[in-house]
Amino acid sequence: MSAVRRLAYRLLNSVVRHASPDSQDWASAMLRELDFVEGDWGASLWALGSVTALFRHSVPHRLKAQIEKRFGTGQERVLKNMRKMTAGMLWGVVMASVVMTLSLLSLLRAAPVLFPEWHVGHARFVQWLAIVGVPEAVFMATAVMLWRKKRPMAAGILLAAVMLMAHAIFHMVTHG
């Protein structure tokens, strides 16, 4: 046996010994096939191809098993992330609603003090400013600040902002 064929045999034999139990028979069959391959370089290419195929077959299964052992199944992780994102979005909507309510109450109470020269004709502008303008500005600023670290919460705030704007537009269209 030449040195090239002997090296190919040793390479494939060591992989067969360390192959996973589910691919042990397949690896042994590849080793037996090596005896029937003609030419030393053909045998070395057969051995390299066999080693590559065995690694491609066994490594993903081993990695998947290790990942599942360490982190749990993928479905549990997805459900945990969905719960986390939903809670963050709901918390963002709640925060946005509180901000909107506080700004509405404070601006409507402070408008006569802040703008005493405005008469009743300007009251509608102050109401729209209190109901839509200030909360929308606060929502956008808060969402931008939270976007990197608390993306679900920022998405919830943006959802509340979109709902508020849609409500305001609908109100303006129906009530003039």
Q: What is the pLDDT of residues 54-84, one digit of tens each?
A: 877 776 666 666 666 666 666 666 667 777 7
Average the pLDDT over each of 113-117, 121-125, 134-138, 145-149 and give the range with the smallest value: 121-125
Is the entire prediction scored with pTM above 0.75?
A: no
The crossing angle, in degrees rounded to 10, of helices 24-33 and 3-17 is 170
Question: What would the mean pLDDT of 136-157 be, rounded to a whole number?
Answer: 83
How many angstroms separate the CA atoms of 30 and 45, rounded?
Answer: 12
% pLDDT > 70, the chain = 75
- Contact partners, residue 133, CB within 8 Å, separation at least 6: none
Which of these, 27, 37, 28, lies nearest to 5 by C-alpha position? 37
Average the pLDDT over each of 46-50, 99-103, 169-173 and give the range with the smallest value: 99-103
How many angstroms separate the CA atoms of 175 and 152, rounded?
Answer: 34
DSSP string, 142-162: HHHHHTTT-HHHHHHHHHHHH
The letter for the amino acid at 127 is Q
The letter for the amino acid at 97 is S
Q: Quote the Cα angle for 132-138-139, to 5°.
A: 85
| Contact yes or no for 92/159 (Cβ under 8 A) | yes
Question: What would the mean pLDDT of 129-144 be, rounded to a whole number?
Answer: 78
Average the pLDDT over each of 41-45, 82-86, 161-165 and give the range with the smallest value: 82-86
Handedness of CA 129, 131, 136, 137 (dihedral sign): positive
